[in-house]
Amino acid sequence: MKDLQKLASDFFKKNPKTEKLYVSTDGYLFVSKNAAELHKKTSSGKVGIKEFDNEFTEDMGRDKTMTAKEKIQCITNAKTVEEVNTLIEDEKRKSVLAAAEKKLKELTASSDSTNNDETGKEDEDKDPENTQKETEKDLEK
């Protein structure tokens, strides 16, 4: 039975959007219950079918069975600080935490530079001559 669980787990890792999987005791995988039942009937009833639910989430960060390499890949692909934080929730592996720290620095650095770029653009857009006139008007008041 443990081999069937491993087959299902490996399948779900490669196909995270699949919600259910049916595995026959002779090692065949089916995403359709009907196909699994037909296989069972054509094997003269000597084959059993085990149903598995996908335990992986879309963000892949909540699955405890992910390898460090898989988790690091998800962290590398993360686009927001929130995604990274979700991925490292309850994480203890040093390599994963180091990858998360690096990604968080990248994300916050790019966020800071974006904010600085926008601030700089506002200043560039202002005409120095108009700025001086505005300042003079303020002083006259």
Contact 24, 11 (CB under 8 A): no
| pLDDT at residue 120 tops 60 | no
Asked whether residue 72 falls in the same domain as residue 114, the answer is yes
Interhelix angle 68-77/94-125, rounded to 10 degrees, is 10
pLDDT of residue 126: 52
pLDDT of residue 54: 86
Asked whether residue 72 falls in the same domain as residue 39, the answer is no
Asked whether residue 82 falls in the same domain as residue 44, the answer is no
Is residue 16, in this structure, part of any structural domain at all? yes
State the pairing for strand pair 49-53/29-30: unpaired
Q: How many CB atoms lie within 10 A of CB 88?
A: 21
Q: What is the pLDDT of residues 16-53, one digit of tens each?
A: 888 889 999 998 999 999 998 989 888 876 889 999 88
pTM of the model: 0.40
- Domain span holding position 108: 68-125
| pLDDT at residue 90 tops 60 | yes
Is residue 46, in this structure, part of any structural domain at all? yes
Q: Which of 11, 28, 53 is the last residue of a domain?
A: 53
Is residue 36, in this structure, part of any structural domain at all? yes
Is residue 140, in this structure, part of any structural domain at all? no
Task: Give the strand order in the sheet containing 49-53.
Answer: 29-30, 20-24, 49-53
Region 52-57 average pLDDT: 74
| pLDDT at residue 78 tops 70 | yes
Asked whether residue 8 falls in the same domain as residue 46, the answer is yes
Report d(CA 29, CA 38) in Å as an integer. Answer: 13
More confident residue, 141 or 59: 141
Q: How many domains does the chain have?
A: 2
Is residue 34, in this structure, part of any structural domain at all? yes
pLDDT of residue 104: 94
Region 105-126 average pLDDT: 66
Asked whether residue 42 falls in the same domain as residue 82, the answer is no
Region 101-107 average pLDDT: 93
Asked whether residue 81 falls in the same domain as residue 118, the answer is yes
Asked whether residue 72 falls in the same domain as residue 45, the answer is no
